[in-house]
Homo-oligomer: A and B are copies of this chain.
Amino acid sequence: MSLIQVINPNTSLAMTETIGAAARAVAAPGTEILAVCPSHGVPSIEGHFDEAIAAIGVLEQVKRGKEQGVSGHIIACFGDPGLLAARELASGPVIGIAEAAMHTATLVATRFSIVTTLPRTLVIARHLLQQYGFTHHCAALHAIDLPVLALEDGSGVAQEKVRQRCIQAKREDGSGAIVLGCGGMATLAQDLTKELGLPVIDGVSAAVKMVESLVALGFGTSKHGDLDYPLEKPLSGAFQHLN
């Protein structure tokens, strides 16, 4: 039995459920999904400031997850906040959903498009493309210009905007796949894949399979070199619980 911790870095319980459901939908028989979010922090993540705060919540959850004996961790926000810090802290694998979706896209298409929420988050996606090596694999980035939580308002407006942008991306970008750029879009991927006739990739489900794979291969995060455990030092104040 393998336990995978899916961390929604924001404090939205609705989105945590959306993400947990997407994870469970693809989990292998032997995998249990533990969907969590920080008890404090930001209700949604739409910029570097939000990400910096969310990263602390991610680290707290990784620490808790280790104590609970999880096999691996997923950071379920498209900016992959705190990814390398979490890798230092963890012994098992840690996967970000942007990372997971981008990697997956390059395996089924020569180039992909990204559809995300607010334009101000595009810079984060661009930096991740550069860090992961996929700048030249991304044909175009699109923003629907709605905030993250519009995906949880029950109106379906944001979902329809995502759909329209995916259709536009398919028509105009010359891409073979589309990456959904927000954890809150996780449950849209399957239907869009069918409707559009090309892979529309959600990072949450992709990340679940990546963690399962790494665990099956016997790989955790490498502790040789720059992702070794953080050097022990007395953390003070609000961070004592991270000691």
Contact = CB atoms under 8 A, between A and B. Distances in A.
Given A42-B235, A236-B40, A236-B41, A174 B225 contact: yes
B41 A216 contact: no
A107 B217 CA distance: 13
Nearest to A51: B85
Number of copies: 6
Contact of A52 (B85, B221, B227): B85
Contact of A237 (B41, B46, B223): B41
Given A44-B233, A127-B131, A199 B216 contact: no
Nearest to A190: B218
Sorting the interface of chain A by its residue count into under 10, 10 to 19, 20 to 34 or 35 or more gives 35 or more
A119 B220 CA distance: 21
Contacts of A110: 84, 123, 225-227
Contact of A213 (B42, B93, B130, B212): B212
B210 A224 contact: no
Interface string A107-151: 111110000000111110001001111111100000000010000
7 contacts: A47-B231, A49-B89, A51-B85, A95-B107, A197-B224, A198-B225, A199-B222
Interface of A: 11, 26, 28-29, 38-44, 46-53, 55-56, 59, 82, 84-85, 87-89, 93, 95, 99, 103-104, 106-111, 119-123, 127, 130-137, 147, 170, 174-177, 190, 193, 196-199, 201, 205-206, 209-210, 212-214, 216-228, 230-231, 233-239, 242
Counting from the closest, the 7 A-B pairs by CB-CB distance are A40-B237, A133-B133, A209-B213, A176-B222, A198-B224, A49-B230, A48-B84
